Amino acid sequence: MVLVMAPRFSYAMHIAEGFLPPVWCAFYLLLSLPFVMIGLRQLKAKSRLGGDMKLFIAVAAAYCFMLSALKLPSVTGSCSHPTGTGFGAVIFGPFVMSVISVVVLLFQALFLAHGGLTTLGANTFSMGIVGPLVAYGIYRLAGKSKIGIFLASSLGNLATYCVTALQLAFAFPSPAGGIAAAAVKFLSIFALTQVPLAIVEGILTVIMMGIVEKYSVSELEALKGGNAYEA
Amino acid sequence: MKRRDYLMLSLLALFIVVASLFIGAENGPLEGADGIAMEYLSSSNKNLEPWFESIWAPPSGEIESALFALQTAIGGIIIGYYIGKKRNAPADNSICSPK
């Protein structure tokens, strides 16, 4: 049985199609919806800010697209990938990234059988909502420096996978030790693996931020005052 | 940031990836972490059956990696286009006027 199913397991990104019980799917879908709605509204408003703003937003999406396709090795002996959401969260605020994450997750669910349509809500919640919110919060707290950008994007990345682990633990408590034991198990699979990847994403985001600081002066200026990047 | 900073940071990121590759290869088969989690799920919940199938899955690992490469390429092309455009249009970069 496991052997028959094995090829499909290797396809899984975050929570695989059909694995999360329907009740939880509906729960995360409803939970994610308002964030995505706010994001859509902000996306509209921000894209009207002029200059190359639309293209600038596309760059944040492209970064997310690119990084979430990069499966990298980790010290624990398994592979995972960055999320790329911290960069956009720091520049455009967390909610715009919710919308972009839905696009990325849909692409992977439809064309790569990674994640899934039923688990879209749950995966959006971890990658598109909690990750960017953590990244944005840390960036604000850490004093808006290069170190702040590094910490924001790497801890946002880590937060995404911690949430995935917790989502699985809540849906599938361990028969012996309940939710806590299951959480420890899933965290050991996801969070530890993610540590070197989180550091790599942090470094890449600092590089990327350096690039846009040089070439997107006007866009960054136009975004000031909102919940956005401030050098 | 200076050119040297970019170089140093890129090398550092590369070093972490390569080091992770070699340390990771010692510790396991380097499969996807998500796959390992789902495998654990199936082994700890014997009667767990996915209740929904992916509507389409890449027919082989080769096609899958091609699509992943495509995903990376789309992202890279957009970022490259943006940098190229900005680099060649300093005027667009200095003034921002709402349309």
The answer to whether B48 faces chain A, any CB pair under 8 Å, is yes
Tell me if A66 sits within 8 A of A84, measured CB to CB: yes
Sequence ranges of the domains in chain B? 1-50, 59-88
Chain A residues touching residue B76 (CB < 8 angstroms): 62, 66
* Residue-level pLDDT at A228: 56
Measured between alpha carbons, how far is B88 from B63 in angstroms, rounded to an integer? 37
CA distance B27 to chain A (A): 5
Distance CA B26, CA B4 (A): 33
Give the contacts of A6 (CB within 8 A, at least 6 positions apart).
B39
Q: What is the pLDDT of residue A122?
A: 97
Contact assignment for A61 to B78 by CB distance below 8 Å? yes
Most confident of A119-133, B44-58, B77-91: A119-133
Does A73 contact B24 at a Cβ distance shorter than 8 Å?
Answer: yes
ipTM: 0.89
**pLDDT level of residue A218 (50, 70, 90 thresholds):** confident
Interface probe with A: pick from B16, B96, B97, B99, most Cβ of A within 10 Å: B96
The pLDDT score that the predictor gives to residue A11 is 42
- Report the alpha-carbon distance of residue B6 to residue A105 in Å, rounded: 30
Cβ of A74 and B33 within 8 Å?
Answer: yes
Contacts of B25 in chain A (CB under 8 A): 73, 77
Does the beta-carbon distance from A196 to B20 stay under 8 Å? yes
CA distance A215 to B54: 41
Which of B12, B26, B36 has the CB atom closest to A78's CB atom?
B36
**Smallest Cα distance from A178 to chain B, Å:** 12
Beta bridge partners, A80, equal A72
A191 close to A75: Cβ distance less than 8 angstroms = no
- Interface A:B, Cβ pairs < 8 A: 234
The residue with greater pLDDT, A215 or B46, is A215
The share of chain A scoring above pLDDT 70, in percent, equals 91
Structure confidence at residue A230 as a pLDDT band (50, 70, 90)? low
Min Cα separation A37/chain B (Å):
24
Contacts of B12 in chain A (CB under 8 A): 203
Q: Which of A13, A50, A199 sits opposite B16 (nearest CB)?
A: A199
pLDDT at B91 over 70: no
Nearest by CB to residue B37, choosing from A55, A174, A189, is A189
A 10 A CB-CB count for A224 gives 10
Q: Are A210 and B6 in contact (CB under 8 A)?
A: yes
Q: Which of A203, A64, A59, A230 is nearest to B84 (CA)?
A: A59
Structure tokens at A11: 């396809």
For residue B70, give how far its alpha carbon lies from the nearest alpha carbon of chain A (Å): 9
At A12 the pLDDT is: 42
Contact B92 A217 (CB under 8 A): no
Stretch A6-14: mean pLDDT, rounded? 48
Chain segment A69-101, per-residue pLDDT in tens: 999 999 999 999 999 999 999 999 999 999 999
Per-residue pLDDT at B68 exceeds 60: yes
Nearest to B35 among A12, A17, A219 (CB): A12
Give yes or no for B98 touching A (CB within 8 A). Answer: yes
- How does pLDDT run across A122-174, given as a tens digit for each residue? 999 999 999 999 999 999 999 779 999 999 999 999 999 999 999 999 999 98
- In the three-class reduction of DSSP (H, G, I as helix; E, B as strand; rest coil), residue A72 is classed as strand
Residue type, position A104, single letter: V
How far apart are alpha carbons A19 and A24 in whole angstroms?
Answer: 10
| Whether residue A19 has pLDDT greater than 70 | yes
Q: Measure the CA–CA gap between A40 and A150, rounded to whole angstroms.
A: 26
Strands B31-32 and A72-73 turn out to be unpaired
Q: What is the pLDDT of residue B9?
A: 97
> H helices of chain A, where?
2-9, 22-47, 53-67, 85-92, 94-111, 120-123, 131-141, 146-171, 178-215, 217-223
pLDDT band at A201 (very low <50, low <70, confident <90, very high): very high
Q: How confident is the model at residue A4 (pLDDT cuts 50, 70, 90)?
A: very low
Task: Compute CA distances A186 → A23, A145, B82, whole Å.
Answer: 20, 33, 39
Please, are residues B67 and A45 in contact by the beta-carbon 8 Å criterion? no
Chain B stretch 76-95, residues whose beta carbon is closer than 8 A to a beta carbon of chain A: 76-79, 82-83, 85-87, 92-95
Question: Residue A7 corresponds to which tokens in the numbers above?
Answer: 């090829």
Residue B49: count of CB within 10 angstroms of its CB? 10
